């Protein structure tokens, strides 16, 4: 039998009145690669912190028989980050980065960041690679990873997968289904503080969950069928008893009274037997184990005609784009593109190739600020000014058809009003009826008890879903999204997949999630070699 490396017992953590963790045991054996899944806000990161020894539970204990390494999702929460520090200073000052290990040259080389340790400015992807180099260089027998694919491009994810394959024992939180399928030998689901284990990888977990749901439907249908049958029998017996109790037409009231006296009961023996039989049936109904109906997502979709969508064949056109960052590389050189109406386009490419830059240029064009060389900064929005003033050179054009209403997903979620409820946030921009808005929220896994919650109490992933709900019900008819699945749990990603696959407008999105791209995109564009190329 494999060696036990970690055993958590009777763990309980509460935040105020809310129970985050409440489970009897969690064990990790040598050689196990465990994928930890659960909804946003379920407590996955909290659980990793408990297992790593960084969070003390209110009750229970964790016993470890080996050293561990904890790769956090974030170095610092965004609101706590010091804007005066460079990226590298934040990295070097972070408690997460101050490991007692030297840089490992091989790991830095494998992750292609050998030249980044002395730089003042690093990208999000480079920061992740540096921290991963520290993690793999630590060579600990048990490792905890919280969303290690964050900010990595396709090549980075491929390298990460190869490196994780060499880790003997780990607990992994990830929204990358391909990674969970390739690596995991067990999936543990965290739901309402409880843990449930499933053997196999993520696809095996889904298969077992679907079988569980099918069993729940079978049990529910059997329960409702039997309950209806017994209720019918009960009704018939009660009606029969009433008929027996009635005085026959040819019997006088005096004779009926004499009959009842002789039977020592206001009713005769046959009526009593029938009522006793009915009572037995009622007891059987009361004793039945209640089976709840499994949840079903509603099917109603928004009426897209209310967005007044453009009818043009091409809705956005870019021609001869050239742009170079100040003190940086040339991103585009004579690059052109056409976005056809109703297409769903995935934009892929390596970190730094220009994917997000392309989205920024579309945004600037939508705001009428693309000809910034001829404008003063006062004529632009602050976001456009910040983006475009980073360029030392720009030429070319991006044209957008008049009826296009473009919605950009804001990762900072600045459009949300945290004092308003979930439903109020959606309805303030909705062109759809309230019933449709509620359906959209339900399909994004907001249920009736969530509708009146203030947006301020939602988790980060829930706020992201709320921002998407606002886009879906608004007058927006073209969506431009940068990494829409970042920070979402797997159930939410799958819900978004369904919503985007049914979206009747035009969608342009940057993503490194292979499964998401395959499920949603009708076209894939690659930003490479300073060009924008449509993949066949």
- Asked if 294 contacts 323 with a C-beta cutoff of 8 angstroms, the reply is no
Tokens at 176, concatenated: 């990358």
User: Does position 164 have pLDDT exceeding 80, yes or no?
Assistant: yes
Decide which of 385 and 487 is more confident: 487
Of 267-281, 347-361, 454-468, the range with the lowest mean pLDDT is: 267-281
Q: Other C-beta atoms within 10 Å of 228: how many?
A: 10
Rounded Cα distance between 337 and 351, Å, is 20
User: Does position 378 have pLDDT exceeding 60, yes or no?
Assistant: no
Mean pLDDT on 188-205: 93
> 120: which residues sit within 8 A by CB, 6+ positions away?
86, 87, 88, 89
Of 46-60, 68-82, 197-211, the range with the lowest mean pLDDT is: 68-82
Tokens at 345, concatenated: 């386009």
Decide which of 218 and 451 is more confident: 451
Q: Looking at residue 82, what is its pLDDT? A: 42
Tell me the C-alpha to C-alpha distance, in Å, between residue 524 and each of 126, 350, 477, 504, 535.
25, 14, 20, 18, 6
Rounded Cα distance between 451 and 262, Å, is 64
Total count of residues recorded for the chain:
536
C-alpha dihedral over 136, 140, 146, 147, to 10 degrees? 20
Q: Is the torsion defined by CA of 152, 155, 158, 160 positive or negative? A: negative
Give the chain's mean pLDDT.
82
Q: Looking at residue 501, what is its pLDDT? A: 92
User: Does position 263 have pLDDT exceeding 70, yes or no?
Assistant: no
Q: What's the pLDDT tens digit per position in 269-311?
A: 666 677 777 788 788 878 877 777 766 666 667 899 999 999 9
Q: What's the pLDDT tens digit per position in 406-459?
A: 998 865 577 899 999 999 999 999 999 999 999 999 888 888 889 999 999 888
Q: Looking at residue 535, what is its pLDDT? A: 86
Q: Is the torsion defined by CA of 445, 427, 505, 358 positive or negative? A: negative
- Asked if 471 contacts 443 with a C-beta cutoff of 8 angstroms, the reply is no
Q: Looking at residue 383, what is its pLDDT? A: 61
User: Does position 97 have pLDDT exceeding 50, yes or no?
Assistant: no
Rounded Cα distance between 194 and 31, Å, is 24
Phi, psi angles (nearest 5°) of residue 133: -60, -40
User: Does position 253 have pLDDT exceeding 70, yes or no?
Assistant: no
User: Does position 160 have pLDDT exceeding 70, yes or no?
Assistant: yes
CA angle 281, 284, 286 (to 5 degrees): 110
User: Does position 532 have pLDDT exceeding 50, yes or no?
Assistant: yes
Rounded Cα distance between 441 and 472, Å, is 10
The pTM for the full model equals 0.69
373: pLDDT confidence band, cut at 50, 70 and 90?
very low
Decide which of 362 and 223 is more confident: 362
Q: Looking at residue 218, what is its pLDDT? A: 76
Q: Looking at residue 94, what is its pLDDT? A: 44
Mean pLDDT on 363-384: 59
Strands 186-191 and 33-38: parallel
183: pLDDT confidence band, cut at 50, 70 and 90?
very high
Mean pLDDT on 343-362: 90
Helix intervals (H) in 381-489: 382-388, 422-427, 434-443, 460-473
With pLDDT > 70 as the criterion, what percentage of the chain qualifies? 80
Burial of residue 430 (number of CB atoms within 10 Å: 0-12, 13-18, 19+): buried
Place of tokens 């900072």: 412
Exposure b/e, 286-320, CB count within 10 A at least 16 = b: eeeeebeeeeeeeeebbeeebbebbeeeebbbbee
Of 61-75, 99-113, 391-405, 420-434, the range with the lowest mean pLDDT is: 99-113
Of 79-83, 397-401, 497-501, the range with the lowest mean pLDDT is: 79-83
Q: Looking at residue 89, what is its pLDDT? A: 46
Q: Looking at residue 215, what is its pLDDT? A: 76
Of 59-68, 196-205, 392-401, the range with the lowest mean pLDDT is: 392-401
Q: Is the torsion defined by CA of 227, 228, 233, 237 positive or negative? A: positive
C-alpha dihedral over 103, 109, 111, 113, to 10 degrees? 70
Rounded Cα distance between 396 and 402, Å, is 19
| Integer Rg of the chain from CA | 31
């Amino acid at each position: 039998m494999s060696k036990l490396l970690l055993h958590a017992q009777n763990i309980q953590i509460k935040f105020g009145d809310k129970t985050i963790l409440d489970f009897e045991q969690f064990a990790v054996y040598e050689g196990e690669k465990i994928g930890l899944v659960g909804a946003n806000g379920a407590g996955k990161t909290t659980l990793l912190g408990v297992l790593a020894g960084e969070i003390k539970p209110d009750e229970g204990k964790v016993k470890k028989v080996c050293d561990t390494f904890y790769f956090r999702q974030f170095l610092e929460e965004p609101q706590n980050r010091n804007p005066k520090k460079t990226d590298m200073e934040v990295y070097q000052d972070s408690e997460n980065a101050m490991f007692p290990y030297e840089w490992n040259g091989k790991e830095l080389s494998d992750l292609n960041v050998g030249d980044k340790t002395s730089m003042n400015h690093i990208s999000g992807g480079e920061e992740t690679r540096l921290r991963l180099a520290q993690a793999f260089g630590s060579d600990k027998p048990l490792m905890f990873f919280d969303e290690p694919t964050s900010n990595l491009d396709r090549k980075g994810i491929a390298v990460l997968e190869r490196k994780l394959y060499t880790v003997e024992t780990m607990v992994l939180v990830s929204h990358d289904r391909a990674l969970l399928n390739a690596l995991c030998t067990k999936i543990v689901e965290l739901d309402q503080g409880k843990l449930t284990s499933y053997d196999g990888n993520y696809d095996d977990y889904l298969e077992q969950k679907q079988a569980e749901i099918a069993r729940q439907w079978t049990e529910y249908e059997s329960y409702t069928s039997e309950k209806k049958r017994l209720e019918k029998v009960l009704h018939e017996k009660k009606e029969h008893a009433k008929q027996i109790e009635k005085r026959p037409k040819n019997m006088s009231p005096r004779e009926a009274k004499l009959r009842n006296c002789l039977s020592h009961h206001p009713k005769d023996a046959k009526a009593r037997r029938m009522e006793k039989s009915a009572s037995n049936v009622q007891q059987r109904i009361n004793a039945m184990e209640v089976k709840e109906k499994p949840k079903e997502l509603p099917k109603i979709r928004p009426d897209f005609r209310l967005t007044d969508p453009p009818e043009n064949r091409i809705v956005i056109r870019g021609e001869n784009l050239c742009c170079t960052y100040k003190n940086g590389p040339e991103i585009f050189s004579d690059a052109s593109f056409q976005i056809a109406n109703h297409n769903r386009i995935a934009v892929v490419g390596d970190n730094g190739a220009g994917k997000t830059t392309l989205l920024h240029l579309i945004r600037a064009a939508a705001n009428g600020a693309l000809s910034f060389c001829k404008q003063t900064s006062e004529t632009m929005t602050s976001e456009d000014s910040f983006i475009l003033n980073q360029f030392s050179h720009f030429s070319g054009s991006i044209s957008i058809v008049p009826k296009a209403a473009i919605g950009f997903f804001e990762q900072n979620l600045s459009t949300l009003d945290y004092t308003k409820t979930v439903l109020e946030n959606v309805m303030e921009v909705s062109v759809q009826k309230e019933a449709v808005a509620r359906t959209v929220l339900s399909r994004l896994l907001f249920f009736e008890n969530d509708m009146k919650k203030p947006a301020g109490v939602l988790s980060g992933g829930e706020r992201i879903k709320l921002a998407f709900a606002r886009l879906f019900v608004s007058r927006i008819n073209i969506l431009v999204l940068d990494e829409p699945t970042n920070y979402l749990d797997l159930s939410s990603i799958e819900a978004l997949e369904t919503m985007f696959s049914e979206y009747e407008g035009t969608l342009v999105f940057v993503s490194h999630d292979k499964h998401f791209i395959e499920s949603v995109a009708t076209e894939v564009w690659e930003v490479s070699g300073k060009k924008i190329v449509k993949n066949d």
